Chain A
Amino acid sequence: MGVKVMIPTPLRQYAGKRESVDLEAKTVAEALSSLTSQFGELKRHLYSDDGRLRSFVNVYVNDEDIRYLQKEKTALQQGDTISIVPSIAGGTE
């Protein structure tokens, strides 16, 4: 399926300064895997060392949070838009 992945501003520097990347994928996992094989530097910012999506990385398929769908197994349709949206966290020790 041809889908579009929207890249958030802080990560564009690792994706050839692109706002979006078009690729072929059947699931969200495939789309993110294809994205990170194309742009290797994105991986450390999206995934923690144990290979899981970082807690502050939010992924939407056409405005639906994948946490409320089938997470990374969410199936994609031709023309879907996947958005990577940051949440922000921090604090003192």
Chain B
Amino acid sequence: MIRVGEALIAKMHEHGAKDYPSECCGALLGSDEGTNRTVLGLVPLVNQRNDSPQNRFSITPEDVLLAEKEARAKGWDLIGWYHSHPDSPARPSEFDREHAWPWYSYIIFQVEKGEAREMRSWRLDDDRAKYEEESIEFISSVPR
């Protein structure tokens, strides 16, 4: 299960709406308590797939290191990634699965005609064969 506060959800939704019809992407910083995780902060990033941003996103290794550094500075972990699916459901595509890393949480949300809708979270299986859905607990404020 992954906990996400309303303010951070609003921030992701704003990012998705601003970048629509392109996919937006960013890092999830927070705490990992084994089976449960809590998102405590976000690092919005620039989608580097300039050739096809409406259906692809890419985050460079430099941005991954930047997000890790930001997490470390706050005493948190880099626990996953978020991205939007413009006019497409909030479930991982085959392309998502092929490019996924294990362990990370992948939050995906649909942006329909510029308006953010359904949000779901996924984690890749150990054998890379499929994603498992991770339930999201929507909370009003993030515990500090």
Contact = CB atoms under 8 A, between A and B. Distances in A.
B100 A9 contact: no
B56 A10 contact: no
B36 interface: no
Interface residues of B, number: 36
A18 to B, nearest CB: 14
Contact of A90 (B77, B78, B100, B128): B100
Contacts, number: 85
A91 B87 CA distance: 12
Contacts of A92: 23, 55, 85-86, 88, 93, 95
A9 B78 contact: yes
Contacts of A93: 55, 88, 93-95
Nearest to A48: B98
A45 interface: yes
A86 B57 contact: no
B81 to A, nearest CB: 5
A54 to B, nearest CB: 8
Contacts of B52: 91
B92 A90 contact: yes
Interface size class of A (residues with CB under 8 A): 20 to 34
B128 A45 contact: yes
B64 A86 contact: yes
Given A9-B77, A56-B99, A89 B104 contact: no
B9 interface: no
Interface string A7-36: 011110110000000000000000000000
Interface of A: 8-11, 13-14, 41, 44-45, 55-56, 58, 65, 85-93
Interface of B: 23, 25, 49, 52, 55-61, 64-65, 68, 77-78, 81, 83, 85-86, 88, 92-96, 99-104, 106, 126-128
